C-alpha cells in the first residue's frame, strides 16, 4: 500500500467519523429535545385537563385528541434505540450491515456506555440508559467509510465516537482493519406516556 492509499484511508475514515459525529447533533439531540417537549406537553395536559376547567375554546374532545397523540408519541420515542441492548441482535445486524458493504465483522464487544448527556436541568429519567460497542471489521477502506455512515442511519440514537484503522501486511488478508467504537442511547418516555394515558382515563370517566 503506497502513501496515497494511506492518505486515502485517513481521508475516507475522517469523513466517515465527521458524518457520524454529526448524527448526534442532528439525530440524537433533536430526539432528546422532542422527548423533553413531550414530557412538558404531558405535564401541561394533566394540569389543564385533569380535574381543571377546560380553557376557553378548547373542548374536552380536543384534550382527548391531544392526550392520545402525546401518548403515541411518547411510546414511539420510548422504543427508539432499544435494539442496541440486545447483544445477539446487534451482532446479527452489524454482521449483515458489514456484508452489505463487502466487509467482515470479526469482533463485537459491548461495554458500559458514557455518562448520559445533560441537555436541561432535571430532564433525564431513571430509565434513560446508554451502551457502548467496540467492533473490528476488515475490508476495503472506501467500504469502511460507507459502513460508518450507515451505522448511524440504521441504529437510532447512535454516534460513532472513534475509528482506528491499520493496513494489513498479509496480501491474502483484507487490506484494512478498523476498530470502531459506537455509543447508543435510549431515553425513558414512559412517564410522559403514563401522564397522557392518565389524562385520557380521567377524561373518559368524566363523559
Give which of 64, 75, 92, 62 is closest to 154, Cα–Cα. Answer: 92
pLDDT in tens, 152-205: 889 878 888 888 888 877 777 788 899 999 988 887 777 666 666 666 665 555
pLDDT in tens, 64-75: 776 777 777 777
Task: Provide the pLDDT for residue 43.
Answer: 64
> CA 99 to CA 117: how far, in whole Å?
33
Domain range annotation of the chain: 3-205
Predicted TM-score (pTM) of the model is 0.64
Task: Provide the pLDDT for residue 121.
Answer: 52
User: What would be the CATH architecture of the domain defined by 3-205?
Assistant: 2-Layer Sandwich (3.30)
> CA 137 to CA 175: how far, in whole Å?
11
Amino acid at each position: 500500500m503506497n502513501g496515497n492509499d494511506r492518505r486515502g484511508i485517513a481521508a475516507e475514515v475522517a469523513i466517515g467519523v465527521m458524518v457520524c459525529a454529526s448524527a448526534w447533533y442532528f439525530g440524537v439531540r433533536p430526539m432528546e429535545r422532542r422527548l423533553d417537549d413531550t414530557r412538558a406537553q404531558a405535564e401541561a395536559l394533566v394540569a389543564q385537563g385533569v380535574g381543571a376547567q377546560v380553557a376557553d375554546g378548547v373542548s374536552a374532545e380536543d384534550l382527548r385528541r391531544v392526550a392520545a397523540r402525546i401518548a403515541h408519541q411518547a411510546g414511539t420515542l420510548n422504543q427508539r434505540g432499544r435494539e442496541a441492548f440486545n447483544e445477539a441482535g446487534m451482532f446479527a445486524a452489524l454482521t449483515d450491515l458489514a456484508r452489505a458493504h463487502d466487509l467482515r465483522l470479526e469482533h463485537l464487544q459491548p461495554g458500559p456506555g458514557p455518562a448520559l448527556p445533560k441537555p436541561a436541568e432535571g430532564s433525564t429519567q431513571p430509565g434513560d440508559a446508554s451502551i457502548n460497542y467496540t467492533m473490528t471489521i476488515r475490508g476495503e477502506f472506501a467500504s469502511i467509510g460507507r459502513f460508518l455512515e450507515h451505522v448511524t442511519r440504521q441504529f437510532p440514537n447512535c454516534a460513532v465516537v472513534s475509528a482506528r484503522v491499520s493496513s494489513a501486511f498479509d496480501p491474502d488478508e483484507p487490506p484494512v482493519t478498523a476498530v470502531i467504537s459506537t455509543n447508543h442511547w435510549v431515553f425513558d418516555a414512559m412517564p410522559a406516556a403514563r401522564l397522557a394515558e392518565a389524562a385520557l382515563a380521567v377524561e373518559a370517566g368524566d363523559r
